[in-house]
Amino acid sequence: MLAWDILIRWSPGGLLPRPWEVVQGLTELAQKGLLFKYIVASLFRVTWGYVAAAVLAIPFGLMLGWHRRGELALNPLIQILRPISPLAWIPISILWFGVGDVAALFLIFMASFLPLTVTAMNAVKNILPTHLNAGRNFGLSPAQIVLKVIYPSVMPQLIAGLRITLGIAWLVVVAAEMIAVNSGLGFLIIDARNAGNRYDLVVAGMVMIGLIGLVLDLGMRRLEKLKSLRWGYASE
């Protein structure tokens, strides 16, 4: 905080806010009811884009990992699409869906879908054949094998992938909101700048983005710590 304050005094332009100004900015936003509204808007978009991607990508990736042919067929496509930044989809998403919530959701979906597919695919491939054989040996039905062997085998990797992807989705929602919509924390930042260089509000938005990102990550980390999942992160 002190370092921040000192740096600001020396910085050129004199536009950047001091810490207490940011606090004032946050209070102002909260009083107008905008802060809460924007946070909800951003979380809403992330949740839906991310959950939709997870619901489709995880079963899809699991299938690909299980059936080697499917993986062989689709892997080249996945590998080409993977290095494309989700932000590169902005023009196409606006072309397809116009400016609005759907375009933003699409971007988050695109950002989450491929990483989750790849995670699920690799998680299945890493299931030990001995575990599957042991399951069959003890007379489990196919459904029981899914429930008692495949599910616990893939969970640690899936949770780790879900955590990383949620981080990506949270990065992308801010970018999407700067361009495609007029609410949310990303919009707050770009709007505060455009409407009279309110850099106190810009930084206030950034602080909120950082804090919420941190809370999301901590929440996912708590999942990783569950005892029945922890084995997956041991050195074995």
Partner 1 sequence: MTPPSRTTARETKLRVQGVNKVFTRDGKSVNVLEDIDLEIRDGEFVCLLGPSGCGKSTLLNIVAGFTPPTSGQVYIDGEPVTGPDPRRIFVFQERGVFPWLTVEGNIGFGLFRLPPKEKARRIAHYVKLVGLSGFEQAYPAELSGGMKQRLEVARALAVNPDMLFLDEPFGALDSITRLLMRSELLRIWEAEKKTILFVTHDIEESVQLADRVVVMSARPAKIQRVVEIDIPHPRDISSPRYLKLRDGIFEEIGLAHKV
- Give the residue with the Cβ less far from partner 1, 31 or 130: 130
In the list 15, 84, 88, 128, the residue contacting partner 1 (rule: CB under 8 A) is 128
In whole angstroms, what is the distance from residue 202 CA to residue 194 CA?
10
How near is the Cβ of 160 to partner 1 at its closest, in Å? 15
Q: Is 228 in the site for partner 1 (CB under 8 A)?
A: yes
* One residue of 13, 139, 194, 196 binding partner 1 per CB under 8 A: 139
C-alpha distances (whole Å) from 43 to each of 88, 104, 216, 223 are 22, 12, 10, 19
Q: How far is the CB of 121 from partner 1 (least distance, A)?
A: 20
Whole-number Cα distances in Å, 32 to 79, 156, 228: 46, 43, 45
Instruction: Name residues whose C-beta falls within 8 Å of residue 118's C-beta, 6 or more positions apart in sequence.
Output: 61, 78, 82, 161
Q: Does 144 participate in binding partner 1 (rule CB under 8 A)?
A: yes
Residue 59 tokens read as 């079963």
Q: Which is nearer to partner 1, 36 or 231 (CB)?
A: 231
Collapse the DSSP code of 23 into the 3-class scheme (helix H, G, I; strand E, B; otherwise coil) and give the result.
Answer: helix
The rounded distance, in Å, linking the Cα atoms of 35 and 150 is 43
Q: Please pick, from the candidates 57, 94, 120, 149, the single residue that binds partner 1 as defined by CB under 8 A.
A: 149
Question: Do the beta carbons of residue 225 and residue 205 sit within 8 Å?
Answer: no
Q: Does 131 bind partner 1 (CB under 8 A)?
A: yes
Closest CB to partner 1 among residues 206, 223: 223
Q: Which of residues 42-61 bind partner 1 (CB under 8 A)?
A: none
- Site for partner 1 (CB under 8 A): how many residues? 24
Q: Which of 137, 194, 195, 222 touches partner 1 by CB under 8 A?
A: 137
Query: What's the rounded Cα separation, in Å, for the pair 101 and 97?
Result: 9
Binding residues for partner 1 (CB under 8 A): 128, 130-131, 133-134, 136-140, 144, 148-149, 152-153, 155, 227-232, 234, 236
